[in-house]
Amino acid sequence: MQLRTLTDVRKGWQLYALFALPLLYIIVFKYVPMFGNVIAFKQFTVTKGMFGSPWVGFAHFERFFNSYEFWRLLRNTLSISFYTLIASFPFPILLALGLNYVKHERFKKTVQMVTYAPYFISLVVVVGLLFQFLDPRTGIINSFLGWFGVDPINFMGQAGMFQSIYVWSHVWQNVGFACIIYLAALAGIDPSLHEAAVMDGASKVQRMRHIDLPGIMPIAVILLILNTGQIMETGFEKILLMQNALNLRASEVIDTYVYKIGLVSQALNFSYATAIGLFKAVIGFVLLIVVNQTAKKVGQESLW
């Protein structure tokens, strides 16, 4: 017995040694920044440092809530997120359901192969593609519209179109990749269910409706929960690339604003930017908890 415990400790020591480096990383690059958020409650200046800067309480938060930007940022963030969430939810499911009934392996493989591909293209290139296609003078979309006598449209310069361009290019890029998980879930459905349904004379539509759809429901709900919890996270790296002075009204979200206030602006304000970022993180965290608890209550799947 004594010997057993001793070996346990020795073995444990080796596992800890392996684990040390990743743990150090998580602490330094994830937890230290979390505590770095205290500068949101201070008037931080680089010369005085994190500890020397004076406390200001919730002053930065109050300033943000009362600022002209607040509602606009919140509205843009939420509308882009919800738009993305709603637009990108059904398509991977439909694609997977459709692919599941394709008998020609080659055709199925081709569709999968092609639809996965955009996932690997960088955001910079996707936005570059958008600019090329939507260019008022040389873009193919405007050349096409020109055939019907439509005057060239400066798509990227129109605030009203920004969110649609953002969301639908997102769907284009991600639909194939997002569909993988549903295909895998469909493959996991017991084939005897389908056999029995066929014996009973069920049509393909009926099988889809009553076997496939319930079969992928749990995974769909989990993904929906996850995505709803991420509602404050806009794809801000892409938004930043797509932004210009003309569409700023519709494209400025919390994340891009934090970036500008904290790292780009002529008059950098670290504390103010951190406060806005912290506000976003807290709301996002609370949302995730609430959505998960709600899903648990209604008896659906939950994350934990």
Partner 1 sequence: MHAKPIRESGGDRAFNVVNYIMLTIVLIVVLYPLVYVVSASFSSSYAVLSGKVWLWPVEPSLDGYKAVFKNKNILTGFQNTFFYTVAGTFINVVLSILAAYPLSRKDFRGRNKFMLLFVFTMMFNGGLIPTYFVVKDLHMIDTVWAMLIPTALSVWNVIIMRTYFQTTIPGELLEASQIDGCNDFRFLLKIVVPLSGPIIAVIALFYAVGHWNQYFNAMIYLKDPQLYPLQLILRDILVQNEVRIDMLGDVKSAAARQGLRELLKYSLIVISSVPLMLVYPFVQKFFVKGVMIGSIKG
Of 283-302, which residues contact partner 1 (CB under 8 A)?
Answer: 284-285, 288
The residues with which 42 forms a beta bridge, in sequence order, are: 55
The residues with which 55 forms a beta bridge, in sequence order, are: 42
**Residue of 296, 284, 281 lying closest to 229 (CA atoms):** 284
For 110-133, b where at least 16 C-beta lie within 10 A, e where not — what string? ebbeebeebeeeebeebbeebeeb
* Least CB distance to partner 1 at residue 137 (A): 9
The dihedral sign for the CA sequence 97, 101, 105, 107: negative
Q: Is residue 3 a contact point for partner 1 (CB under 8 A)?
A: no
Q: Is residue 259 a contact point for partner 1 (CB under 8 A)?
A: yes
H-assigned helices in 89-203:
90-100, 105-116, 123-134, 140-147, 159-187, 191-199
* Least CB distance to partner 1 at residue 79 (A): 21
Q: Is residue 6 a contact point for partner 1 (CB under 8 A)?
A: no
The DSSP call for residue 42 is B
Asked whether 284 and 231 are in contact (CB, 8 A), the reply is yes
The backbone torsions φ and ψ at residue 148, rounded to the nearest 5 degrees and listed phi first, read -100, 15
Tell me which of 76, 215, 216, 255 binds partner 1, using CB under 8 A. 255
Q: How many chain residues touch partner 1 (CB under 8 A)?
A: 92
Q: Is residue 4 a contact point for partner 1 (CB under 8 A)?
A: no
The backbone torsions φ and ψ at residue 76, rounded to the nearest 5 degrees and listed phi first, read -65, -45
Q: Is residue 273 a contact point for partner 1 (CB under 8 A)?
A: yes
Interacting span for partner 1 (CB under 8 A) from 53-61, 69-77, 78-86, 277-285: 277-285
Interacting span for partner 1 (CB under 8 A) from 52-60, 61-69, 76-84, 115-123: 115-123
Interacting span for partner 1 (CB under 8 A) from 63-71, 78-86, 157-165, 200-208: 200-208
The DSSP call for residue 55 is B
Q: Is residue 28 a contact point for partner 1 (CB under 8 A)?
A: yes
Q: Is residue 48 a contact point for partner 1 (CB under 8 A)?
A: no
Tell me which of 56, 59, 87, 111 binds partner 1, using CB under 8 A. 111
Tell me which of 1, 3, 5, 29 binds partner 1, using CB under 8 A. 29
The dihedral sign for the CA sequence 251, 254, 259, 261: positive
Q: Which two tokens stand for residue 139?
A: 């873009």
Per-residue interface string for the shown chain with partner 1, residues 55-94, x marking contact by CB under 8 A: ----------------------------------------
Tell me which of 14, 47, 66, 266 binds partner 1, using CB under 8 A. 14
Interacting span for partner 1 (CB under 8 A) from 4-12, 55-63, 75-83, 157-165: 4-12
